[in-house]
């Protein structure tokens, strides 16, 4: 039975939840396929996450390996293939709680970096799981700056082998997933040396464990790096190499080859490599970032509709916490952001697909823009969504703090996305470098990529809004965002030039501008996200209330951004103080409007109870029963030796004389 | 041997680290006592936290109980008493990793709420640990709003007993520490009923477990609420009561008594009760909030001095990440905040002591101000420090994400402080209510408490700063903060009045202003923190460079607050755009100045390696060796059944036919 406080929220939905779900999925057929995958996975007890919050790191790892192995069987049974339409839903259905994710990266790196011969040899072995692969790039002392990697691969012409070493402790490979306990092979990135000369970083296939008994190979020291804030299911590992010899054929050689005599040959364009990083950054947004935020919103908003605390009106019953303006102000902007970034992701996917087609035609022109956008949005979206999940957690008070709410694990997992695949600050500075370059080009009248043409059109006008309703006009707020992005880019470009002209060395000048460059990059991405959301809303069908509610969310996303960064808009007077008060008024009004549809809006994300795995967020809203039932299952309710050992002697005063 | 990159940071300190430590401690004698306590605790292996990051929740609980029992012995051995000067350092030396904290709350509640007779009976029993106490207030369905508690205590005149019940699942006591597995007794808060009439919430001493064999008493269901984001060492519990009978004498009756015939008698003033909450909120700031932030700063800044990544100047070796402006901008404001709030805490302690003296003279005049300040600062400081710890964690990249860095557990623990002892938003609204009341009174020319007299003096001037150096003048920035606090309070008061005058009901009007009321309360606290820091700096001795470096930190704290909230200062033109650019310039300049003393400034916090328990933050900066050594000890490097069970059949292709 559904909690009546939750049921009532659904009766007054202003739109069709089912239609919105289909919109998010990209069509009703996609929804059908997704649900079929979820159903198949969730009905299989091997994939159960029921006891996840009670398990140790070792238990989590073992379960993830069991699931990964079982998944092979399941896919065969269900007729799912890696190229089929179901494939992309499997990972989401498993909530990522599965091993061998790096095996796929291993395969992809061979496909991208290997010669045809290498692909022909290794890919079938990997596909059939005759080996388990990993990807060993990051070192204990080196992450961001690839050129700084210290692992060496010295070519020995006598034996036609590479001799691999991690010469210092800081050179030890550290973090690679699946490597701590599972992998038999890995792609090691190392500095290539031939006849004493360094040729820079290259990838090498190295076997690290026996295929017979899984013992470590000669010269290999490897293990698990220990406990982390989350990812208990993954055996992130370390790897030391001591004079490990591999055949010449194991250097991945699509782009660079070492001939038998030690001649180094570079061939083809490596530009496609940058495209791989772009791919990864875009592909993680949906599964690793948006899904957790959507889950957190679902949990927090359903809970806020059934949790009653304190009174809004004297004499009445305690109010739903969702009816408090402060609670709305915490949660509804996160909900709006989840929708906004869902559409941003669509935009990036489309851009990416277009870029991919161009690249296949050997046209690499779109690469800089793609790199800048994927870097910037990876940073902005992971940052925004991580903060959003934290807000959801805290908005659920004490119960949010229980692991059983599901929120702590969403948080401890999503925060990693701010660090991996490019640390966010580094990425934003990459975007900023692109912006400054394009701004200079645009100022000089040169052509620039489509996403930054706006930088050329610096307008010095004022925001034309006359009353608070004007701020519900997408043109008004989109232009305000654009104005801020231009201002921050141009003022930072000016500061940079001033510093250089005053004699500061270029790299010092750059460093002295980085705090402001980061702001400019964020403003650029924020502007594009708002613009894209507004354009998406305009194209939506007007039926079934979808466009109307999406318009509200778009307005909220935009106005929340202004309300939270008033200084950026007020700074040069583009928005006046009186106008800012209108923004605030419109923003607060919107909270009350969207609050009415809050539960239907999270229902549309269509998470099952099993996928949420939350005592607070289930569809039926029976929060307290579930917390109690789940707590009773906790290992902390087993007999503890603490009583006999410590408490009894204390209480019976039989401790050795105090 | 100290990492040379860290050693060099210490050689150029602009001040005496030892003198600053003494300042923080409140004198060299305090430093001496603190170090003696730390030494005694850390040299005792029972108190070791060495394997903490590898332990399960059950193991953490058992260790905490062991430590709590052992502590009794240790105190006796060392001659430490609860009233001695060492006592306050014990908890910090244990990093809070000890059981029976609620036993002390149990005792305090009896001391404060019990009659002389009750105190005489229970306190000796508790002191001698003939029972273990807990404190059962919060229910599954009720936290913030005490009047909403559902547990009942019905007086039975026939037997002279109270009959206690938790009539619904939402009435179940939930969260009390030490109650899940350890406690034998607890103070239960319940609605008192006599002859069918409800007299509201009252405290009752209830035995829940046998003193003989620790089995649950008749009518009691109790257990552990399961895994949480942190606090694995504490057995937060649940408690169901079914017709549990306790003698009439077990209602704590300092303020209210039930006579044998059922007559309800109220006696004395309960005002002192509010003072207890104030006490708790102030007392948690140092141990639960400032210490974690100071530890996080120590870890992150030492790590930033030894971690080298990428190049600042072409051709040079990789740079210390501390030399990047963006890294400075993440960490140094957190360091400044740690110092700022340390001095805020001194201010609150002094105010509290003064209030306590007044209350002992039956003068309760200071209570509203004390309540407003302790509520507001509890919220502002926990919020600020939680965000600060998260920033420190993320600023250490991947290694920060390892539990071995110590940062994840600091974060997952400190975030709870935003929720317990008053949820932050609720607390800020209490402060705001006080502000609005005082603003109205001040506007009407009535006297108001000292901390809010500034609200009466609304000035409409402009910030007089003429160049960036002017923003290093405390008068300039303190006045700017004051101006913003007044503006936010007065404009929200005006909105509230407008709404009420336009016919909106008072409670609705209040709810519609709460987002802005929270802003006003924060601005008030921020202003007081800045003002207090500036005043503290002025009084410091000018020797040994202490005052100079504290002045820099004060400036940074103030300018970071403006830089991060530019809109609040720009809104009505008090600070102009040109002046805001000066703020930014001065702020960024300060980062480079303070960066030079960053390591000495965290050294002054004087944490031992054992208390930091961090592979990244040790005094010697040998980060990579420690990460590697610690990881090798992880249980994840024990043999796993996963190979034989899953990996071997997969690799040997002996899984049942795929």
CATH code of the domain in which A179 resides: 2.40.110.10
pLDDT confidence bin for B458, thresholds 50/70/90: low
Interface test with A, best of B127, B178, B212, B225 (most A CBs within 10 A): B225
Lowest-pLDDT range, A430-434, B14-18, B543-547? B543-547
Question: Nearest CB to B651: which of A143, A211, A635?
Answer: A211
Tell me the C-alpha distance between B608 and B597, whole Å: 19
How many domains does the structure of chain B reveal?
Answer: 1
What angle do the packed helices B325-360 and B271-284 form, to 10 degrees? 150
Provide the pLDDT for residue A658. Answer: 44
Q: Is residue B112 part of a domain?
A: yes
End-to-end CA distance of chain B: 56
Tell me the C-alpha distance between B36 and B86, whole Å: 8
With a cut of 50, say whether residue B462 has pLDDT above it: yes
Question: Nearest CB to B56: which of A56, A323, A518?
Answer: A56
Does the beta-carbon distance from A129 to B651 stay under 8 Å? Answer: yes
- B406 contact residues in A (CB cutoff 8 A): none
Provide the pLDDT for residue A636. Answer: 97
Residue at token pair 């790199």: A371
Judge if ipTM > 0.95: yes
End-to-end CA distance of chain A: 56
Structure tokens at B356: 């306590």
Q: Is residue A290 part of a domain?
A: no
Counting every residue written for chain A, the total comes to 658
Q: Is residue A181 part of a domain?
A: yes
- Report the mean per-residue pLDDT for chain B: 96
**Rounded-to-5 percentages of helix, strand, coil across chain A:** 60, 10, 30
Helices marked H in A209-309:
271-284, 291-306
Structure tokens at A482: 């654009």
Structure tokens at A383: 């940052």
Give mean pLDDT, residues A370-394.
98
Tell me the C-alpha distance between B194 and B386, whole Å: 45
> Which of A421, A535, A541, A644 is the catalytic position?
A421
Provide the pLDDT for residue A458. Answer: 67
With a cut of 90, say whether residue A462 has pLDDT above it: yes
Q: Are A194 and A258 within 8 A, CB to CB?
A: yes
Q: Are A43 and A604 within 8 A, CB to CB?
A: no
Looking at CA atoms only, how far is residue A417 from chain B in angstroms? 10
Q: Is residue B254 part of a domain?
A: yes
- Closest by CA to A79, choosing from B603, B275, B658, is B658
Instruction: Count how many Cα atoms sit within 13 Å of the Cα of residue A553 in the half-sphere of its side chain.
Output: 30
With a cut of 80, say whether residue B459 has pLDDT above it: no
Distances (CA, A) of A605 to A22, A288, A306: 10, 15, 19
Instruction: Count how many Cα atoms sit within 13 Å of the Cα of residue A134 in the half-sphere of its side chain.
Output: 30
Looking at CA atoms only, how far is residue A172 from chain B in angstroms? 9
With a cut of 60, say whether residue B400 has pLDDT above it: yes
Structure tokens at B567: 């809109």
Tell me the C-alpha distance between A267 and B523, whole Å: 62
Distances (CA, A) of B272 to A396, B104, B377: 30, 18, 20
Q: Is residue B54 part of a domain?
A: no
What angle do the packed helices A577-595 and B506-539 form, to 10 degrees? 130
Name residue B308's beta-bridge partners. B320
H or E element that contains A387? helix A367-395
Clarify whether B423 is annotated catalytic.
no
Q: Phi/psi zone of residue A515: left (φ > 0), alpha (ψ -120 to 50 degrees), beta?
A: alpha
With a cut of 50, say whether residue B658 has pLDDT above it: no
- Please check whether residue B221 touches A, CB under 8 A: no
Name residue B245's beta-bridge partners. B163
- Closest by CA to B472, choosing from B548, B583, B571, is B583
Tell me, what DSSP letter sits at residue B308?
A: B
All residues at 6 or more sequence positions from B522 whose CB lies less than 8 Å from its CB, including other chains: B376, B379, B380, B428
Lay out the sheet containing A220-224: strands in order across. Answer: A173-174, A237-241, A220-224
- Please check whether residue A263 touches B, CB under 8 A: no
Does the beta-carbon distance from B56 to A58 stay under 8 Å? Answer: no
Lay out the sheet containing B220-224: strands in order across. Answer: B173-174, B237-241, B220-224
Q: Is residue A135 part of a domain?
A: yes
Tell me the C-alpha distance between B216 and A62, whole Å: 36
The DSSP line for A553-612 is HHHHHHHHHHHHTHHHHHTTSSS-HHHHHHHHHHHHHHHHHHHTTHHHHHHTT---HHHH
Angle at B62 between CA B57 and CA B66, to 5 degrees: 150
Provide the pLDDT for residue A147. Answer: 93
* Number of A–B residue contacts, CB under 8 Å: 373
Q: Are A301 and A322 within 8 A, CB to CB?
A: yes
- Closest by CA to B417, choosing from B330, B287, B522, B237, is B287
B353-362 CB contacts, 8 Å cutoff, 24+ apart: B355/B275, B355/B278, B356/B275, B359/B271, B359/B272, B359/B275
- Closest by CA to A568, choosing from A502, A656, A482, A631, is A482
Q: A488-543: per-residue pLDDT in tens?
A: 999 999 999 999 999 999 999 999 999 999 999 999 999 999 999 999 999 998 88
Residue at token pair 């610690």: B630
Provide the pLDDT for residue A544. Answer: 81
Tell me the C-alpha distance between B260 and A109, whole Å: 82
Angle at A378 between CA A375 and CA A384, to 5 degrees: 135
- Closest by CA to A562, choosing from A491, A452, A476, is A476
Q: Is residue B228 part of a domain?
A: yes
- Report the mean per-residue pLDDT for chain A: 96
Tell me, what DSSP letter sits at residue A210?
A: -
Distances (CA, A) of A657 to A143, A646, B426: 55, 14, 47
Tell me the residues of chain A between 328 and 357 that have a Cβ less than 8 Å away from chain B: 329-330
With a cut of 90, say whether residue B270 has pLDDT above it: no
Per DSSP bridges, beta strands B135-136 and B185-194 are: parallel
Does the beta-carbon distance from B567 to A588 stay under 8 Å? Answer: no
Q: B55-94: per-residue pLDDT in tens?
A: 999 999 999 999 999 999 999 999 999 999 999 999 999 9
Does the beta-carbon distance from B402 to A61 stay under 8 Å? Answer: no
- Please check whether residue A142 touches B, CB under 8 A: yes
Q: B496-546: per-residue pLDDT in tens?
A: 999 999 999 999 999 999 999 999 999 999 999 999 999 999 999 888 899
- Closest by CA to B182, choosing from B224, B122, B241, is B224
Tell me, what DSSP letter sits at residue A319?
A: P
pLDDT confidence bin for A654, thresholds 50/70/90: confident
Q: Is residue B298 part of a domain?
A: no
Give mean pLDDT, residues A588-617.
98
Domain membership of residue A188 as a residue range: 103-267
Tell me the C-alpha distance between A120 and A102, whole Å: 20
| Torsion angles phi and psi, residue A258, rounded to 5 | -110, 120
Q: A282-301: per-residue pLDDT in tens?
A: 999 999 999 999 999 999 99
Angle at A16 between CA A11 and CA A20, to 5 degrees: 130
With a cut of 90, say whether residue A267 has pLDDT above it: no
- Closest by CA to B301, choosing from B605, B545, B30, is B605
- Burial class of residue B645 in the structure, from the number of CB atoms within 10 Å of its CB (0-12 exposed, 13-18 middle, 19+ buried): middle
| Torsion angles phi and psi, residue B173, rounded to 5 | -70, 140
Largest Cα span, chain A: 91
All residues at 6 or more sequence positions from B555 whose CB lies less than 8 Å from its CB, including other chains: B471, B472, B474, B477, B586, B590
- Please check whether residue A576 touches B, CB under 8 A: no
- Please check whether residue A207 touches B, CB under 8 A: no
Does the beta-carbon distance from B174 to A627 stay under 8 Å? Answer: yes
- Please check whether residue A127 touches B, CB under 8 A: no
Among chain B residues, the shortest Cα distance to A403 is held by: B228
Tell me the C-alpha distance between A266 and A109, whole Å: 18
With a cut of 70, say whether residue A657 has pLDDT above it: no
- Closest by CA to B220, choosing from B272, B172, B281, is B172
């Amino acid at each position: 039975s559904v909690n009546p406080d939750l049921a009532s929220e659904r009766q007054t939905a202003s739109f069709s939840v089912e239609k919105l779900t289909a919109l998010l999925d990209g069509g009703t057929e996609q929804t059908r396929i997704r649900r079929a995958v979820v159903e198949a996975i969730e009905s299989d007890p091997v994939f159960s996450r029921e006891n996840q919050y009670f398990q140790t790191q070792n238990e989590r790892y073992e379960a993830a390996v069991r699931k990964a192995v079982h998944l092979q069987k399941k896919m065969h049974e269900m007729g799912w293939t890696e190229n089929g339409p179901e494939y992309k839903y499997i990972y989401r259905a498993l909530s990522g709680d599965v091993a061998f994710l790096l095996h796929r990266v291993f395969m992809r790196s061979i496909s991208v970096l290997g010669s045809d011969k290498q692909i022909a040899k290794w890919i079938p072995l990997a596909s059939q799981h005759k080996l388990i692969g990993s990807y060993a790039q990051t070192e204990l002392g080196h992450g961001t700056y690839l050129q700084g990697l210290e692992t060496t691969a010295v070519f020995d012409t006598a034996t036609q082998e590479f001799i691999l070493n991690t010469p210092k402790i800081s050179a030890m490979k550290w973090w690679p997933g699946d490597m701590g306990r599972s992998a038999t092979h890995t792609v090691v990135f190392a500095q290539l040396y031939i006849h004493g000369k360094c040729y820079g970083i290259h990838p090498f296939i190295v076997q690290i464990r026996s295929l017979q008994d899984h013992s470590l190979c000669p010269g290999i020291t490897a293990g698990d790096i220990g406990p982390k804030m989350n990812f208990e299911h993954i055996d992130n590992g370390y790897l030391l190499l001591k004079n490990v010899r591999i055949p010449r054929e194991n250097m991945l050689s699509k782009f660079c080859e070492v001939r038998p005599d030690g001649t180094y040959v570079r061939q083809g364009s490596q530009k496609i490599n940058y495209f791989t990083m772009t791919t990864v950054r875009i592909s993680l947004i949906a599964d690793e970032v948006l899904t957790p935020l959507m889950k957190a919103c679902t949990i927090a908003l359903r809970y806020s509709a059934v949790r009653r605390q304190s009174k809004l009106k004297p004499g009445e019953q305690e109010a739903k916490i969702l009816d408090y303006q402060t609670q709305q102000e915490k949660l509804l902007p996160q909900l709006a952001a989840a929708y906004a970034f869902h559409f941003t992701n669509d935009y990036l996917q489309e851009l990416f697909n277009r870029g991919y087609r161009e690249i296949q035609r050997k046209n690499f022109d779109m690469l800089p823009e793609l790199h800048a956008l994927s870097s910037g949005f990876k940073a902005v979206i992971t940052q925004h969504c991580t903060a959003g999940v934290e807000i959801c957690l805290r908005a659920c008070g004490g119960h949010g703090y229980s692991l059983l709410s599901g929120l702590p694990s969403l948080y401890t997992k999503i925060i990693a996305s701010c660090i991996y695949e490019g640390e966010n600050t580094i990425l934003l500075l990459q975007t900023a470098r692109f912006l400054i370059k394009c701004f200079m080009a645009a100022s000089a009248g040169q052509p620039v990529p489509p996403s930054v043409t706006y930088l050329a059109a610096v307008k010095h006008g004022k925001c034309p809004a006359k009353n608070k309703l004007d701020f519900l006009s997408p043109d008004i707020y989109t232009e305000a965002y654009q104005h801020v992005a231009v201002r921050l880019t141009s003022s930072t470009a000016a500061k940079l030039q001033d510093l250089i002209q005053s004699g500061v060395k270029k790299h010092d000048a750059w460093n002295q501008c980085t705090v402001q460059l980061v702001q400019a990059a964020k403003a650029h991405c924020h502007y594009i996200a708002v613009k894209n959301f507004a354009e998406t809303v305009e194209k939506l069908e007007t039926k079934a209330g979808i466009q109307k509610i999406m318009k509200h969310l778009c307005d909220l996303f935009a106005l929340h951004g202004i309300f939270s960064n008033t200084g950026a808009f007020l700074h040069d007077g583009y928005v006046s103080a009186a106008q800012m008060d209108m923004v605030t008024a419109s923003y607060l009004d919107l909270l009350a409007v969207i609050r009415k549809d809050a539960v239907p809006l999270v229902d549309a994300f269509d998470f099952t109870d099993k996928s949420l795995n939350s005592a607070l967020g289930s569809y039926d809203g029976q929060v307290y029963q579930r917390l109690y039932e789940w707590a009773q299952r906790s290992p902390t309710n087993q007999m503890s030796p603490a009583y006999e050992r410590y408490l009894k002697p204390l209480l019976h005063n039989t401790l050795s004389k105090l």
